[in-house]
């Protein structure tokens, strides 16, 4: 029995070496055919860092790194929901003011005297945001109206609701320490390392378990050597991020919240029937319908997720600013949230993208805005540069898609 086990292990290791080589060759083949993955984002981020660091030496400081995490948190949360909408090939233009409705509603419920407990105020605000998403989805599916039109109407309507809720108050201060702490609390150094270990350990467990399960079922899987390299790379980046954050105030609690949301929505997208249905509907709606998928229900649920995460983003932004006002949900918030998902690699054509792309895209957007802020550039210049970054991302997506089609890669 021992000899048989040793033979099986030897054969397994030999097969893994061959598989590793074929995996790398296949990866290079996909890159050449236009399936660039995260490479454009990584390259763009390197360029951004070099440009802004050479122009302002404060860009790569620990304090600015922590600031960057807090600044990108709101649009990242919103972009998680946008990814699901884009996977269907739809659009949601209402998320900016839906986030404001949730933030303003929560803030008013917290207002003294007689303010609600924070957990009730936050829950009611998020439920209201989710109901708005269900309403949008129901109108879109019931009357077969383009999502662009419905959510554009929502953009204007919910903007009006925000103005009505605030009334003549102008600015309303958030009056709860717990809510303020969402974006303004920083973990002690030790707890930062504990969270990092839990994150890397959990990721390693899931990746290894998934790979072994696929092998036992005879399905294609990533070679274990590649899996270990990926885990090692993430562990190094995580450790570096915690180390740098601890040189300043520590790891922001909102950063941990973003990671938890990323894990939850990644599981929803890749490990559940609902997630598979979302990709199927986005890839080919009619084929999904013929396969027995309730397409309209999936669309409604996706718009609910989009509005719910807009509400989460709005609460994070209110916590960061410690207040809400009549301008809440406006400005470039909508642009940044959608741009984060698109720049991160989620296709505008539907059926292609990952939840993690929202983090990468938000990091690009926040880095550009942060760097331009350090340089003291005007709002007009910021809009122009952000628009150009978004245009480049869309062009890369279109070119990559055309390359994959010509090469016969889905």
* Per-residue pLDDT at 350: 83
CA separation for the pair 149, 165 (Å, rounded)? 24
User: Does some domain include residue 290?
Assistant: yes
Q: pLDDT tens for residues 364-393?
A: 999 999 999 899 888 788 788 878 887 887
* Per-residue pLDDT at 387: 82
User: Does some domain include residue 260?
Assistant: yes
- Residue 76, pLDDT > 60, answer yes
- Residue 13, pLDDT > 50, answer no
User: Does some domain include residue 10?
Assistant: no
Residue 249 contacts residue 186 (beta carbons within 8 Å): yes
Tokens describing residue 298: 């999936």
* Per-residue pLDDT at 42: 83
Q: pLDDT tens for residues 292-338?
A: 999 999 999 999 999 999 999 999 999 999 999 999 999 889 989 99
- Residue 10, pLDDT > 70, answer no
For position 137, which CATH number holds? 1.10.3470
Which domain-ending residue is among 251, 268, 293?
251
Residue 16 contacts residue 224 (beta carbons within 8 Å): yes
- Residue 125, pLDDT > 50, answer yes
Kindly state the helix (H) or strand (E) to which residue 173 belongs, with its residue range. strand 171-173
User: Does some domain include residue 5?
Assistant: no
- Residue 4, pLDDT > 60, answer no
DSSP 348-363: TTSS---THHHHHHHH
- The radius of gyration of the chain's CA atoms, rounded to the nearest angstrom, is 23
Q: pLDDT tens for residues 223-251?
A: 888 889 999 999 999 999 999 999 999 99
The domain total for the chain is 2
Tell whether 114 and 78 lie within a shared domain: yes
Positive or negative, the CA dihedral 147, 148, 152, 153 is negative
Tell whether 239 and 371 lie within a shared domain: no
Which domain-ending residue is among 210, 235, 251?
251
User: Does some domain include residue 23?
Assistant: no
* Per-residue pLDDT at 403: 65
Tell whether 179 and 292 lie within a shared domain: yes
Tell whether 107 and 80 lie within a shared domain: yes
* Per-residue pLDDT at 41: 82
Residue 221 contacts residue 215 (beta carbons within 8 Å): yes
Whole-number average pLDDT of the chain: 88
* Per-residue pLDDT at 7: 42
Tell whether 243 and 330 lie within a shared domain: no
Tokens describing residue 362: 């938000």
Tell whether 176 and 316 lie within a shared domain: yes
* Per-residue pLDDT at 393: 74
- Residue 30, pLDDT > 80, answer no
Q: What is the mean pLDDT of the segment spanning 344-362?
A: 87
Tell whether 180 and 228 lie within a shared domain: no
* Per-residue pLDDT at 257: 97
Q: pLDDT tens for residues 158-176?
A: 999 999 999 876 889 998 9
> pLDDT band for position 351 (50/70/90)?
confident
* Per-residue pLDDT at 88: 95
Q: For 61, left (φ over 0), alpha (ψ -120 to 50), or beta?
A: beta
User: Does some domain include residue 31?
Assistant: no
Q: What is the mean pLDDT of the segment spanning 144-168?
A: 94
Supply the range of the domain harboring residue 204.
186-251
More confident: 21 or 351: 351
User: Does some domain include residue 239?
Assistant: yes
CA separation for the pair 372, 378 (Å, rounded)? 8
Long-range CB pairs of 383-388, under 8 A, 24+ apart, other chains included: 383/332, 386/332, 386/335, 386/336, 386/339, 387/335
Tell whether 374 and 238 lie within a shared domain: no
> pLDDT band for position 117 (50/70/90)?
very high
Tell whether 234 and 349 lie within a shared domain: no
Tell whether 178 and 204 lie within a shared domain: no
Question: What is the 3 state secondary structure string of the chain?
Answer: CHHHHHHHHHHHHHHHHHHHHHHHHHHHHHHHHCCCCCHHHHHHHHHHHHHHHHHCCCCCCHHHHHHHHHHHHHHHHHHHHHHHHHHCCCCCCCHHHHHHHHHHHHHHHHCCCCCCCHHHHHHHHHHHHHHHHHHHHHHHHHHCCCHHHHHHHHHHHHHHHHHHHHHHHCEEECCCHHHHHHHHCECCHHHHHHHHHHHHHHHHHHHHHHHHHHHHCCCCCCCHHHHHHHHHHHHHHHHHHHHHHHCCCCCEHHHHHHHHHHHHHHHHHHHCHHHHHHHHHHHCHHHHHHCCCCHHHHHHHHHHHHHHHHHHHHHHHHHHHCEEECCCCCCCHHHHHHHHHHHCCCCCCCCCCCCHHHHHHHHHHHHHHHHHHHHCCCHHHHHHHHHHHHHHHHHHHHHHHHHHHHHCCC
User: Does some domain include residue 14?
Assistant: no
DSSP 322: T
Tell whether 192 and 338 lie within a shared domain: no
- Residue 37, pLDDT > 80, answer no
* Per-residue pLDDT at 401: 66
Residue 60 contacts residue 45 (beta carbons within 8 Å): no
Tell whether 118 and 208 lie within a shared domain: no
pTM: 0.90
Q: pLDDT tens for residues 259-294?
A: 999 999 999 999 999 999 999 999 999 999 999 999
Which domain-ending residue is among 219, 251, 283?
251
């Amino acid at each position: 029995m021992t000899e048989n086990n040793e033979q099986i292990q030897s054969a397994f290791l030999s097969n893994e070496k061959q598989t590793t080589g074929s995996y790398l060759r296949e990866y290079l083949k996909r890159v050449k055919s236009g399936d660039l993955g995260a490479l454009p984002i990584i390259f763009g981020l390197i360029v951004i860092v070099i440009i802004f660091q050479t122009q302002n030496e404060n860009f790569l400081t620990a304090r600015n790194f922590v600031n960057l995490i807090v600044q990108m948190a709101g649009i990242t949360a919103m972009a998680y929901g946008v990814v699901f909408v884009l996977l269907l090939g739809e659009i949601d233009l209402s998320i900016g003011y839906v986030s404001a409705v949730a933030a303003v509603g929560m803030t008013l419920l917290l207002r003294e005297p007689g303010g609600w407990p924070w957990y009730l105020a936050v829950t009611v605000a998020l439920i209201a945001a989710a109901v708005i998403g269900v309403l949008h989805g129901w109108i879109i599916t019931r009357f077969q109206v383009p999502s662009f039109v419905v959510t554009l109407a929502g953009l204007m309507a919910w903007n009006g609701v925000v103005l009505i809720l605030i009334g003549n108050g102008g600015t309303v201060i958030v009056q709860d320490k717990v809510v303020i702490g969402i974006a303004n609390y920083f973990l002690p150094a030790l707890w930062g390392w504990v969270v990092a270990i839990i994150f890397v350990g959990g990721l390693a467990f899931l990746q290894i378990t998934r790979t072994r399960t696929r092998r036992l079922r005879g399905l294609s899987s990533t070679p274990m050597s590649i899996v270990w390299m990926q885990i090692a790379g993430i562990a190094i980046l995580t450790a570096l991020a915690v180390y740098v954050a601890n040189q300043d105030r520590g790891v922001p609690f909102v950063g941990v919240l973003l990671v938890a949301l990323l894990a939850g929505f990644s599981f929803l997208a890749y490990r559940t029937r609902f997630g598979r249905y979302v990709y199927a509907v986005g890839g080919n709606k009619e084929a999904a319908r013929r396969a027995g998928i309730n397409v309209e229900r999936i669309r409604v649920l996706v718009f609910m997720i989009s509005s719910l995460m807009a509400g989460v983003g709005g609460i994070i932004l209110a916590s960061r600013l410690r207040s809400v006002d009549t301008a809440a949900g406006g400005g470039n918030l909508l642009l940044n949230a959608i741009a984060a998902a698109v720049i991160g690699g989620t296709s505008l054509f539907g059926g292609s993208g990952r939840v993690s792309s929202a983090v990468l895209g938000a990091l690009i957007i926040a880095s550009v805005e942060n760097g331009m802020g350090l340089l003291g550039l005007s709002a007009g210049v910021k809009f122009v540069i952000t628009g150009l970054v978004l245009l480049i991302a869309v062009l890369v997506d279109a070119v990559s898609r055309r390359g994959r089609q010509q090469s016969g890669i889905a």
